Amino acid sequence: MNNKDRFLLSTKSVWQTGMLVLCALILASCQAAPTVIQVPATIPLPTTTIAPSASPTLAVSTEAVINVAIDPKLGKILVDEKGMTLYVFTKDGPDKSNCSGDCLKKWPPLLTLGTPMAGAGVDPSLIGTAALSDGSKIVTYNKMPLYYWVNDTKPGDTNGEGVGSVWFVVSPDGTKVDVAKEATVSPTQTAVGVTADVTIGIVTDPKLGKILVDGKGMTLYAFANDGPDKSNCSGDCLKKWPPLLTLGSPMAGAGVDASLIGIATLSDGSKIVTYNKMPLYYWVNDTKPGDTNGEGIGSVWFVVSPDGKPVSN
């Protein structure tokens, strides 16, 4: 073997040795332990908090609770689970809140995230919910949305009663409690306060025949100077002739034509019941069921027959 062949063989051996070393290094690196990224078993999520309302006691409840409390002046009234007084707004509709913006800042709604619950003395069949414009759920009672008053700071406060003559506490039977009205009007007006669902019935009077009455048998009247679905009785007139008001949908008793029953709006936003488009009223001097002392007064006030016509004796 000459020198040239020896040189080539030596070069080939060195190259093979180098390749073996390189392969060994690559193999060793492949067998090294990989880097492990540890992930926690649970990842904490950011919590969402509800901003406090105008009163620190009025947080949104998962399941709002309605209870009954006894007020020395107002009697039995609705409160929340902490004893804070609840109110209704007479300008609201059935299951519809007409309070928004600044109104809700003064009258925070009773909100719930679940199904509201009834405490002792509360009728669970009257409890419901309605949607506000932002999608939140306001609790209702007898279809009336419920609110707090921002100036009530502790359980037992009823500072919102009668505010603007449109805000009132609520009794367990689902009617508003108007203590100011009860203190100044006749027994008839007290007995015929605003109810959620008024009932119109029929009785037979010995002289007048069949006439319309309310659910308690008190005689109802029509005013000849009214227009269709429009009351022209106001001020002192309404003190003598209290309107038949409702917070919900009036109902027809036996023999009453339900298609003739309707609702009109008074100047203060309250709703007066109509029959055949005639607003219905009481007479202040009728003190018990069966009284018809308002018949024919001024030749413009008359009882109403079931067919929707005034009865002139």
pLDDT tens string 230-278: 999 988 898 899 999 887 788 999 999 999 999 999 887 788 999 999 9
- Average pLDDT value for the chain: 80
- Residue 68 DSSP symbol: E
Q: Which of 182, 197, 229 is the last residue of a domain?
A: 182
Answer whether residue 57 is part of any domain. no
Q: The dihedral of CA 288, 293, 298, 303: what is its sign?
A: positive
DSSP reduced 3-state for 181: helix
Answer whether residue 12 is part of any domain. no
What pTM value is reported for the model? 0.44
Question: What single letter denotes the amino acid at residue 95?
Answer: D
Examine the pLDDT at 36 and tell me if it is beyond 80.
Answer: no
pLDDT digits (tens, 9 = 90+) for 202-238: 999 999 999 999 988 999 999 999 999 999 998 889 8
Same domain, 247 and 148: no
pLDDT digits (tens, 9 = 90+) for 83-138: 999 999 999 999 999 999 999 999 999 999 989 999 888 999 999 999 999 999 99
Region label for 257, one of left (φ > 0), alpha (ψ between -120 and 50) or beta (otherwise):
beta
Q: Which of 182, 198, 225 is the last residue of a domain?
A: 182
Same domain, 178 and 236: no
Answer whether residue 210 is part of any domain. yes
Answer whether residue 291 is part of any domain. yes
Number of CB atoms found within 10 A of residue 263's CB: 16
pLDDT attached to residue 232: 94
Beta bridge partners of 129: 139
pLDDT attached to residue 215: 86
CA 72, 77, 83, 88: dihedral to nearest 10 degrees? Answer: -130
Examine the pLDDT at 184 and tell me if it is beyond 90.
Answer: no
Residues contacting residue 233 through CB under 8 Å, at least 6 positions apart: 223, 225, 226, 241, 243, 279, 281
Q: What distance in Å separates the CA atoms of residue 237 and residue 298, rounded to the nearest whole number? A: 12
Phi, psi (rounded to 5 degrees) for 226:
-75, 160
Q: What distance in Å separates the CA atoms of residue 296 and residue 195, rounded to the nearest whole number? A: 27
Question: For 221-282, where are the E strands, in sequence order?
Answer: 221-223, 245-246, 251-252, 261-265, 271-275, 278-279
Q: What distance in Å separates the CA atoms of residue 179 and residue 176, rounded to the nearest whole number? A: 10
Region label for 217, one of left (φ > 0), alpha (ψ between -120 and 50) or beta (otherwise):
left
| 181's tokens | 């009205």
Same domain, 255 and 277: yes
Answer whether residue 249 is part of any domain. yes
Answer whether residue 297 is part of any domain. yes
Residue 220's domain comprises 185-311
Examine the pLDDT at 192 and tell me if it is beyond 60.
Answer: no
In the chain, pLDDT over 70 holds for what percent of residues?
74
Query: In which band, very low, low, confident or very high, does the pLDDT at 22 lie, cut at 50, 70 and 90?
Result: low
pLDDT attached to residue 4: 53
Query: In which band, very low, low, confident or very high, does the pLDDT at 49 lie, cut at 50, 70 and 90?
Result: very low
Question: What single letter denotes the amino acid at residue 208?
Answer: L
Most confident of 12-21, 67-76, 165-174: 165-174
Residues contacting residue 281 through CB under 8 Å, at least 6 positions apart: 220, 221, 222, 223, 233, 241, 242, 243, 244, 272, 301
